[in-house]
């Protein structure tokens, strides 16, 4: 062979070697099963907050991976929580604070987690609710199944609930529920042969309101056995006006108490959680039987918490423990061991952690840090606080022992969470805690982006009902 010919072939050979190496590296990358759950608070067995709950499948996953006991959302509402999680940017960075806003003017779709993974060699599949509604798919997807079905009220249901708090059994079977179809799509993807590593996002809508699932799930929680969540009728007496306004005690809570149906609402929420857990179980069982079992990261997260009468408050839309604490579990082959992590984390960690574990380059726009060190060693040093935002300049900082809330108008709350986990006593006005308040206030976001446009002709800006809708 002539030297010139050999020289011409060398670049091609090198290209083939590099291409083969890249293919091997891509093939070795782990898949990601990304399980999102809507409106699930910390009423799961492994967190111990409510002994009545039945969540064997979520608890099974928690027992196989790292279960976080102090994880918090970035915003206590679906739209801003998901926009922040999937962009890796806090609401105070983007200006997406509440449900009624359009997140796109503040977040370009090319930086979203699914888009970023797609640009870096992943096939990306989605189903159900990942962004704010199945119709809002956000960014790039190779395929997406929004889900279908519209359950109807069971003939035995007395009505559809109390005011805005909707709860009733439905006449459909499990198989006819929208979440069942979404999980079935996820199972199909798990069982397929893929030529690239995949990111599979499966978004379950339940236990989002209405608390409406087949009657058999209600039957698991007899009404005469239901216990109300811990509450005090005077719990708002030391809460400042801005906090009382968020609580809205004269709205949902007053109607529920007047109706005498508080236990029915709790029963319905527990039933809906149990149904949700059964769908998580289907997904986990399918993964265990699939060829991708040993090379798939599982991360399960709920988008925020939910209140059922604590502090005379219902729904999310507030900055206390109940609306902000989440369910958060990671199972990473070759990295995690069955363990519990008590370090405080928030969801700004999810995007960088997925990048770290998949070998995908870390983009420069992220606000959070990877929790990879905690997945390897749950007892590792970790000094990051959790920060949750609800509306412009309304923030809470959660550390291992404390919660501090600062509202736009300057109102404050301070709770010694280690000694007062139910946040009954606001210490903000006590002079002996001035230094602690100053310390925690220094952790608040340094930027407060202006509100993004609203999708409802400004009603959200005016504080109307659509600002805090449950859609």
Closest by alpha carbon to 229, among 41, 46, 71, 67? 41
- Catalytic residue check, 46: no
Catalytic residue (choose from 42, 46, 73, 78): 78
Cβ(31)–Cβ(295) under 8 Å?
yes
341 annotated active-site: no
CA–CA separation, 223 vs 263, rounded Å?
7
- Asked if 462 contacts 108 with a C-beta cutoff of 8 angstroms, the reply is no
Closest by CA to 394, choosing from 69, 63, 80, is 80
| Measured CA angle at 429 (ends 428, 433), to 5 deg | 60
DSSP calls for 359-393: TPPPPTT--S---HHHHH-TTS---PPEEEE-STT
CA distance 268 to 274: 10
CA distance 329 to 375: 10
Q: Determine the Cα–Cα distance for residues 27 and 392; give it in Å rounded to an integer.
A: 44
Cβ atoms of 76 and 324 within 8 Å: the answer is: yes
Q: How far is CA 247 from the centre of its chain?
A: 21
Which run of H or E residues covers position 355? helix 350-358
**CA separation for the pair 435, 419 (Å, rounded):** 18
Helix/strand/coil for 156: coil
42, 132, 304, 395: the catalytic one is: 132
Check residue 190 and report its DSSP letter: H
CA atoms within 13 A on the CB side of 324: 26
> How many CB atoms lie under 10 A from the CB of residue 436?
18
Instruction: Please identify every residue annotated as catalytic.
Output: 78, 132
């Amino acid at each position: 062979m002539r030297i010139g010919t050999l020289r011409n072939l060398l670049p091609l050979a090198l290209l083939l070697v590099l291409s083969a190496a890249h293919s091997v590296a891509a093939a070795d990358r782990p898949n990601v099963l990304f399980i999102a759950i809507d409106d699930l608070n910390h009423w799961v067995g492994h967190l111990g907050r409510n002994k009545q709950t039945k969540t064997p499948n979520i608890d099974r996953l928690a027992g196989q991976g790292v279960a976080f006991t102090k994880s918090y959302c970035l915003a206590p509402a679906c739209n801003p929580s998901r926009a922040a999680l999937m962009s890796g940017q806090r609401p105070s960075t983007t200006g997406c604070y509440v449900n009624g806003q359009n997140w796109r003017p503040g977040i370009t779709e090319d930086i979203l987690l699914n888009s970023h993974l797609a640009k870096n060699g992943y096939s990306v599949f989605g189903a159900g609710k990942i962004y704010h509604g199945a119709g809002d798919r956000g960014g790039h997807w190779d395929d997406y199944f929004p889900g279908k079905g519209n359950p109807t009220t069971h003939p035995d249901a007395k009505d559809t609930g109390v005011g805005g708090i909707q709860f009733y059994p439905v006449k459909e079977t499990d198989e006819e529920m929208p979440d069942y179809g979404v999980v079935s799509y996820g199972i199909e993807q798990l069982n397929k042969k893929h030529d690239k590593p995949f990111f599979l996002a499966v978004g379950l809508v339940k236990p989002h309101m209405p608390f409406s699932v087949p009657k058999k799930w209600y039957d698991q929680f007899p009404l005469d056995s239901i216990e109300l969540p811990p509450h005090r009728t005077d719990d708002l007496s030391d809460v400042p006006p801005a906090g009382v306004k968020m609580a809205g005690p004269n709205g949902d809570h007053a109607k529920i108490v007047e109706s005498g149906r508080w236990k029915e609402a709790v029963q319905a929420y527990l039933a809906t959680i149990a149904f949700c857990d059964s769908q998580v179980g289907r997904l986990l069982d399918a993964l265990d039987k699939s060829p991708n079992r040993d090379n798939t990261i599982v991360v399960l997260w709920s988008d925020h918490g939910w209140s059922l009468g604590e502090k005379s408050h219902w729904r999310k839309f507030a900055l206390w423990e109940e609306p902000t604490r989440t369910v958060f579990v990671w199972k990473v082959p070759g990295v995690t061991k069955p363990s519990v992590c008590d370090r405080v984390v928030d969801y700004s960690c999810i995007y960088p952690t997925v990048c770290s574990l998949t070998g995908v380059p870390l983009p420069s726009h992220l606000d959070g840090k990877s929790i990879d060190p905690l997945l390897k060693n749950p007892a590792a040093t970790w000094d990051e606080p959790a920060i949750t935002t609800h509306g412009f300049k309304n923030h809470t900082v959660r550390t291992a022992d404390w919660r501090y809330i600062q509202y736009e108008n300057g109102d404050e709350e301070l709770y010694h969470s280690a000694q007062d986990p139910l946040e009954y006593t606001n210490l903000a006005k006590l002079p002996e805690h001035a230094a602690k308040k100053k310390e925690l206030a220094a952790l608040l976001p340094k930027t407060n982006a202006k509100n993004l446009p609203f999708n409802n002709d400004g009603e959200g800006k005016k504080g109307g009902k659509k600002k805090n809708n449950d859609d």
